[in-house]
């Protein structure tokens, strides 16, 4: 599914100040603060029901969750905060045409002058879509697969523009084995929108590696909140200038990033101990579970390819 949740700011200030919401803020939170897009009907209903059960939306009010392909166009609205889950599921039914004038044909052509590059890569298109949704000084946290970090062509263009035009300040490398789509290697990319500037807004990208030498599975050894405690401490949400490097948390300058081949953000520095010392390999049960997850992911990907090819032949 392709879920994008967006937020208007006022009600979040009270949360940051650790105080109760006043009546106006409660009304704003309930009726105006949250908006979302979801391409799958059943998932959209589940999301709307969740909001309703938490008192966010009145029972007789229109759902804030729009059932549609979020990539079809610029909705026009701008938000203080955008959060996304991984867009790894259902394919977009549209074709992207960006500011470079190139086009990738499919069922429907959508002109997106707000895009930096044209690509059939759905994840890169979501990065470009989210950057459009943000207000000035708006914040985004996106779950993106590894290929967003290193893919060439349009990927290089998108990463270069994002680093220059936005403050891309944090990257959390997630461990494998934590998503329903097994075998997915993903990250959380944090960036803020800034006013137009000739000088780059990204001064430093801080990367936290929660993947190397970490082994999780969804059932036997699931990722828990306490596993993120060190990242939260390193993040320094109140004042990012207080950040300090650690074994898993490293800082990279804008110049360092720009000189990397294809502006590659797939940044590694920790040594994988299991590759150097067989005695440090994970438990055999963990290895077996990871192999099963990888095979299931590969099967799902080939099934999707086969379905796509069959659809093209019918068309």
Strand-pair partners of 264:
none
The token duo for 89 is 């599921």
* Burial class, 284, CB count within 10 angstroms (exposed 0-12 / middle 13-18 / buried 19+): exposed
Same domain, residue pair 159 and 245: yes
Same domain, residue pair 227 and 90: yes
The pLDDT value given to residue 306 = 80
Residue ranges making up the domain that contains 27: 1-68
Within 168-283, where are the H helices?
Answer: 229-235, 254-258, 273-276
Same domain, residue pair 173 and 63: no
SS3 content of the chain, % helix, strand, coil (to 5): 40, 20, 40
Q: What is the pLDDT of residues 190-248, one digit of tens each?
A: 999 999 999 999 999 999 999 999 988 877 788 999 999 999 999 999 999 999 999 99
Query: Does the predicted model carry a pTM greater than 0.85?
Result: no
Write down which residue in 10, 39, 68 finishes a domain.
68
The token duo for 309 is 């090819």
Q: What is the pLDDT of residues 47-61, one digit of tens each?
A: 989 988 888 887 777
Same domain, residue pair 134 and 56: no
Strand-pair partners of 81:
7, 139
The pLDDT value given to residue 172 = 98
Same domain, residue pair 77 and 53: no
The pLDDT value given to residue 312 = 61
For residue 108, name the pLDDT band (cuts at 50, 70, 90): very low
The pLDDT value given to residue 96 = 47
Same domain, residue pair 187 and 231: yes
302 or 162: which leads in pLDDT? 162
167 or 122: which leads in pLDDT? 167
Report how many domains make up the chain: 2
Same domain, residue pair 252 and 122: yes
Nearest to 1 by CA among 56, 62, 69, 55: 69
Same domain, residue pair 148 and 290: yes
Q: What is the pLDDT of residues 52-99, one digit of tens each?
A: 888 888 777 788 899 998 888 899 999 999 999 866 654 555 554 455
The token duo for 40 is 């799958």
Does the pLDDT of residue 13 top 70, yes or no? no
49-86 burial, b if ≥16 CB within 10 A, otherwise e? eebeeeebbeeeeeebbbbebbbbeebeebbbbbbbbb
Does the pLDDT of residue 169 top 70, yes or no? yes
Write down which residue in 68, 98, 118 finishes a domain.
68
Give mean pLDDT, residues 8-16: 55
Q: What is the pLDDT of residues 248-305, one digit of tens each?
A: 999 999 999 999 999 999 999 998 876 655 555 667 877 787 777 778 777 877 787 7
Same domain, residue pair 215 and 144: yes
Same domain, residue pair 63 and 78: no
Does the pLDDT of residue 122 top 80, yes or no? yes
Same domain, residue pair 64 and 106: no
The token duo for 135 is 């207000």
Lookup result for tokens 């430093």: 204
Same domain, residue pair 157 and 143: yes
């Amino acid at each position: 599914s392709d879920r994008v949740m967006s937020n208007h700011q006022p009600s979040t200030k009270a949360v940051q100040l650790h105080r109760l919401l006043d009546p106006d803020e409660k009304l704003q939170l309930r009726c105006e603060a949250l908006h979302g897009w979801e391409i799958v009907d059943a998932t959209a209903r589940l999301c709307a029901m969740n909001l309703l059960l938490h008192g966010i939306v009145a029972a007789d009010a229109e759902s804030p969750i729009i059932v549609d392909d979020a990539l079809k166009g610029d909705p026009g609205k701008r938000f203080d905060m955008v959060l996304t889950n991984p867009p790894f599921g259902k394919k977009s039914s549209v074709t992207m045409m960006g500011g470079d004038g190139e086009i990738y044909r499919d069922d429907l052509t959508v002109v997106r002058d707000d895009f930096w590059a044209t690509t059939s890569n759905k994840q890169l298109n979501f990065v470009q879509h989210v950057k459009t949704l943000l207000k000035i000084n708006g914040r985004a946290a996106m779950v993106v697969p590894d290929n967003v970090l290193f893919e060439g062509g349009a990927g290089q263009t998108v990463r270069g523009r994002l680093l220059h035009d936005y403050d891309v300040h944090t990257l959390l490398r997630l461990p494998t084995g934590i998503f329903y789509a097994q075998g997915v290697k993903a990250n959380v990319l944090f960036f803020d929108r800034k006013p137009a500037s000739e000088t780059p807004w990204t001064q430093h990208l801080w990367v936290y590696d929660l993947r190397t030498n970490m082994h999780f599975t969804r059932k036997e050894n699931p990722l828990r909140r306490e596993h993120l405690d060190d990242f939260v401490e390193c993040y320094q949400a109140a004042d990012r200038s207080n950040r300090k490097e650690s074994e898993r948390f490293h800082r990279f300058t804008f110049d360092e990033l720009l000189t990397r081949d294809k502006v590659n953000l797939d940044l590694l520095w920790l040594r994988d101990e299991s590759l150097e010392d067989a005695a440090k390999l994970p438990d055999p049960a963990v290895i077996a579970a990871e192999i099963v997850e990888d095979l299931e992911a590969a099967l799902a990907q080939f099934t999707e390819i086969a379905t796509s090819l069959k659809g093209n032949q019918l068309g």
